[in-house]
Chains A and B, each alone.
Chain A
């Protein structure tokens, strides 16, 4: 009964979505405010209906209702409750439901924080989001229904893939989807602006906080996924350039470019056409990512084609959304007009360079991800594009981008003076250069890449410090604390996010430069030394978990004869799917991780063991979190809150001021 209620709620939600996607947009076109005002209740109603459906599926998992095909396929009676609930998004159908649910959450958020928007704008935004959700609901109801019954019911479920039975699974997909789907708001803003034909600075200001929030979620989501892969796969790697990872990284690159381009549109009225294109791109890549990961096309292009209905629907949906919005763009964008002019050396030009580099990087990831799929689909042979390609491309593309990151925020809008910039930055450059050259020698190893990475990281931090000092000199306030408080939060956010990048770069550089790994055969009582730490293997015991059995190894780690820690890596066997899982033991620290994973049992209680010493690896995720924190800080800036409180008539006035400034 409960699953049928869920199904019925989805059908109702589809009906509401159809109304929401058509009437308000039509109303905005003809100026009928009765039709326009339907958008808000429709969006809220849809949120409620999809919430009901989501809870119904959750309930089916909670009570182990194996008469629901999806529940039987992705869970098991022995699976703990929190993983049963996480199994909602364990496979294709449920992921789509989560996607749609999050879309309605964003819609609901738009209805809450859009009082300051003109009625037509709000109607169009919610209308566009309604259209997107209509596509997803149609897809679910027609070819991938999570509530499909299994009759007769299965005695027990097939279980969630053991790889997914992890706290990472509980957090990572919802975060990632919050990011993916969050770009739908920026997308809807862009489409609404194109429909209305009025792309002004106000439009950019409205969509900035939404884009930044989505970007924060996406950043955290990707970092969680990376951390999860690091400790769960047992390979000690944090990024594999796997197509699944690339699928989430591409929207991030587009979103990062979008945030910077929006800044120009907001402050200077420039880059309008480009910003709109980026908004379309970010959301299109989110859609592409969702489908790449969830349609099975990565598993096998041919498997994808064996279920032609699903494949056809996905391709048609992508074609309609991407093609439709690009058509609208081609039709309407020429009317938008260009923003104010700017000089060859100016903040605009540096942000433009940032955008060009990010998009070039995005293009290279897209090529490396999709080209093998195309070749395969056309039966032209099988190839793979490995990490060396991405490494070779990313370092040279990101180096100038990171270097400009130090200069850009200090450069003036419109026209900056290069010699003067050089004067202001000479200390930062000197300090960075000397430290970057000397530090690797102190650490005991010099390579060009090591120095380059450190140079960029220190450069970013030192230029941020100069930036802050100059800023403080310009704000009013007697005491230092007062002046610090007078600096706007969006500015703090920018600095913090940039420093997050620096922390990230330090992490990557140090791990690449100094990590050591060792695959060894260890007898009981034998020791191995890596990175100054001595590991003594004290044998492995059999233990029982809730739904697995495991061999647990004991390693006593010491340094300079003093006990440092004891580590317990496991080799688990999950009987339902008869799958073996390596559960690495990690001793985390600010400056280094120790990482032990069990290989295979050998004779006489010996094991093959993999040991890693990973300096600064936690800085990689720490950097991502700092970036996201910077984003949160930027969103909490007063200027956005003021915009929310402001009454509707005030908005056109703001637009005029912005317009004058540009002119």
Chain B
């Protein structure tokens, strides 16, 4: 092979590797995107069926109940306009509190309950999870009942 051919072969190989990598990345990216929805969107039926997504909002005061096994919990996530009942089996993160923001990831089942596979804890509790704050802000902006108890305090 002449040096020029070698160089072409090298560049070609590099491009093929890159193309493969890009394909792999984009494919994985598309199938692993998790979309976020507010309780209002859930109530309006805008959420995907049979696919995992996130909901966020405030954990309604007094809505947290625990089953006899000590692990399964039920609570309600609200954006102060609509409410979504959530079931989760496992240990809740330290930052989880009634009246505070929370984000849960999971699927919606037929009876309208959200079965969470994960309730998210952020590194820092000075702020409300951004998605949750956003859900509340949206519901408020669309003319729903407002709330003065929530303080969104970004750093």
Please report A residues at the B interface, Cβ cutoff 8 Å. Answer: 91-92, 161, 163, 233-235, 242, 244, 296, 299-303, 306, 341, 343-344, 349, 352-353, 356-357, 360, 363-364, 367-368, 371, 381-386, 388-389, 392-393, 396-397, 519-521, 577, 579-582, 597, 599-600, 602, 606, 608, 610
Which residue of chain A has the shortest Cβ distance to B5 in the bound complex?
Answer: A344
Contact B6 A163, beta carbon cutoff 8 Å: no
The reply to whether B25 and A360 form a contact with Cβ atoms under 8 Å apart is: yes
Contacts of B154 in A (CB 8 A): 296, 299-300, 303, 306
Given A163-B124, A299-B130, A364-B25, is A606 in contact with B70 using a C-beta cutoff of 8 Å?
yes
**Pairwise interchain contact A384-B28, C-beta atoms closer than 8 A:** no
CB contacts between A and B, total, < 8 Å: 134
CB distance from B30 to the nearest CB of A (A): 9
Interface residues of B in 16-50 (CB under 8 A from A): 17-18, 21-22, 24-25, 28-29, 31-36
In the bound complex, residues from chain A placing their C-beta under 8 Å from that of B91 are 519, 597, 599-600, 608, 610
Q: Are A299 and B127 neighbours in the complex by a CB distance under 8 Å?
A: yes
Identify which of A235, A352, A393, A608 contacts B28 (C-beta below 8 A): A393
Contact of A389 with B35 at beta-carbon distance under 8 Å, contacts A299-B154, A360-B17, A519-B91 already known: no
Contact A389 B28 (CB under 8 A): yes
**Residues in chain A near residue B74, CB distance under 8 A:** none
A552 to chain B, nearest CB (A): 16
Which B residues touch A520, using CB under 8 A?
71
- Nearest neighbor of B125 in chain A, beta-carbon distance: A579
Asked if B98 is at the interface (CB within 8 A of a chain A CB), the reply is: no
User: Known contacts A163-B124, A382-B35; is A599 also within 8 Å of B29 by CB?
Assistant: no
Across the interface, B70 reaches (CB within 8 A) one of A341, A353, A360, A521, namely A521
Judge whether B33 and A385 touch: CB under 8 Å: yes
Residues in B whose Cβ lies below 8 Å from that of A385:
29, 32-34
In the complex the two chains form, is A384's CB within 8 Å of B14's CB?
no
Query: For residue A389, which residue of chain B has the nearest CB?
Result: B32
* Distance, CA A260 to CA B74, complexed state (A): 53
Contact A357 B70 (CB under 8 A): no
Distance of A383 Cα from B1 Cα, bound (Å)? 50
Interface pairs (16), CB distance under 8 Å: A163-B124, A300-B127, A352-B10, A353-B17, A357-B17, A357-B21, A360-B21, A360-B25, A363-B21, A381-B35, A392-B28, A393-B28, A397-B24, A519-B71, A519-B91, A581-B94
Minimum CB distance partner of A360 in chain B = B21
- Chain B residue, CB-CB nearest to A573: B94
State which of B18, B31, B90, B130 has its C-beta within 8 Å of the C-beta of A356.
B18
CA distance A302 to B141 in the complex (A): 15
Q: How far is the CA of A360 from the CA of B130 in the complex (A)?
A: 30
Q: Is the interface of A mostly helix, strand, loop or mixed?
A: mixed
Q: Is the CB of A383 within 8 A of B36?
A: yes
Q: Which residues of A contact B54 (CB under 8 A)?
A: 384
Which residue of A393, A396, A602 has the most chain B CB atoms within 10 A of its CB atom? A393
**B residues near A581, Cβ cutoff 8 Å:** 94
Option from B1, B10, B71 in Cβ contact (under 8 Å) with A521: B71
**Smallest CB separation, B82 vs chain A (Å):** 17
CB-CB nearest in chain A for B28 = A392
Which of B10, B18, B105, B133: most chain A CB closer than 10 A? B10
Tell me, in angstroms, the Cα distance from A597 to B90 when the chains sit together: 13
B148 within 8 A of A: no
Least distance between A165 CB and chain B CB atoms (Å): 13
In the complex, chain B residues whose CB is within 8 Å of the CB of A368: 29
Which residues of the partner chain A approach B105 to less than 8 Å between Cβ atoms? 386
Give min CB distance, A581 to chain B, whole Å: 6
Q: Given the complex, which residues of B lie within 8 Å of A349, measured CB to CB?
A: 10
> Could you tell me if A92 and B69 are in contact, using CB atoms closer than 8 angstroms?
no
Residue pair B155, A382 in contact (C-beta under 8 Å): no
Cβ-based interface call for B63 (8 A): no
Q: Which residue of chain B is the closest to A234 with respect to CB atoms?
A: B94
The answer to the question of B81 belonging to the interface, with a C-beta cut-off of 8 Å to chain A, is: no
Does A161 lie within 8 Å of B14, measured CB to CB?
no
Nearest-neighbor residue (CB-CB) of B7 within chain A: A341
Contact B71 A608 (CB under 8 A): yes
Q: What total of chain B residues lie within 8 Å of the partner, measured CB to CB?
A: 46
Nearest Cβ in chain B — how far from A384, in angstroms? 5
Which residues does B use to contact A, with CB under 8 Å? Answer: 1, 3, 6-7, 9-10, 13-14, 17-18, 21-22, 24-25, 28-29, 31-36, 54, 66, 69-71, 89-92, 94-95, 105, 121, 123-127, 130-131, 133-134, 154-155
A384: contacting residue among B1, B18, B36, B121, CB under 8 A: B36
Q: Are B6 and A344 in contact (CB under 8 A)?
A: yes
Q: Are B25 and A300 in contact (CB under 8 A)?
A: no
Cα distance A582–B121 in the bound complex, in angstroms: 12
Chain A, Cβ-Cβ closest to B67: A521
**Bound complex: CA A647 to CA B121 (Å):** 57
Among A161, A341, A600, A610, the residue within 8 A (CB) of B124 is A161
Chain B residues near A364 (CB, 8 Å)? Answer: 21, 25, 28-29
A397-B21 contact in complex given A244-B123, A608-B91, C-beta closer than 8 Å: yes
Nearest 9 CB-CB pairings of A with B: A521-B70, A303-B154, A389-B32, A599-B91, A382-B36, A360-B21, A392-B28, A300-B130, A364-B25
Collect the chain B residues with CB atoms within 8 Å of residue A579's CB: 94-95, 125
Of A296, A344, A382, A386, the residue contacting B32 (CB under 8 A) is A386
Please state if B124 and A521 are interface contacts (CB–CB under 8 Å): no
**Complexed CA–CA distance, A579 and B97 (Å):** 10
Contact residues in A for B66 (Cβ distance below 8 Å):
602
CB distance from B47 to the nearest CB of A (A): 13
Residue contact A92 to B34, C-beta cutoff 8 Å: no
CB distance from A306 to the nearest CB of B (A): 7
B32: A residues at CB distance < 8 A: 385-386, 388-389, 392
B90, B92, B123, B126 — most chain A CB neighbours (10 Å): B123
Choose among A233, A384, A520 the residue with the greatest number of B CB atoms under 10 Å from its CB. A384
Knowing A357-B17, A397-B21, A599-B91, say if A608 contacts B70 (CB, 8 Å): yes
> Which residues of A are found within 8 Å of B71, using beta-carbon distances?
519-521, 599, 608
A91 to B126, CA, bound (A): 12
Contact A92 B9 (CB under 8 A): no
Q: Give A540 Cβ to nearest chain B Cβ, in Å.
A: 14
Closest partner residue, chain B, to A293 (CB atom): B123
- Give chain A nearest CB distance to B60 CB in angstroms: 18
CB distance from B46 to the nearest CB of A (A): 11
Pair A300/B14 contact, Cβ less than 8 Å: no
Q: Closest CB-CB distance, A219 to chain B, in whole Å? A: 21
Q: Which residues of A have CB within 8 Å of B155? A: 91-92, 296, 299, 303
CB-based contact B131/A382 at 8 Å: yes
- Tell me whether A383 and B34 are in contact (CB under 8 A): yes
Q: Which chain A residue lies CB-closest to B29?
A: A389
| Chain B hits for A580, CB < 8 A | 94-95
Could you list 7 further interchain pairs (A-B, Cβ under 8 angstroms) beyond the known A356-B21, A393-B28? A300-B134, A367-B29, A386-B105, A389-B32, A393-B24, A393-B25, A608-B70
Q: What's the Cα separation between A349 and B34 when bound, in Å? A: 38
- Residues in B neighbouring A582, C-beta threshold 8 A: 94
Measured CA separation A385–B66 after assembly (Å) = 30
Q: How far is the CB of A643 from chain B (nearest CB, A)?
A: 31
Residues of A close to B17: CB separation below 8 A: 353, 356-357, 360
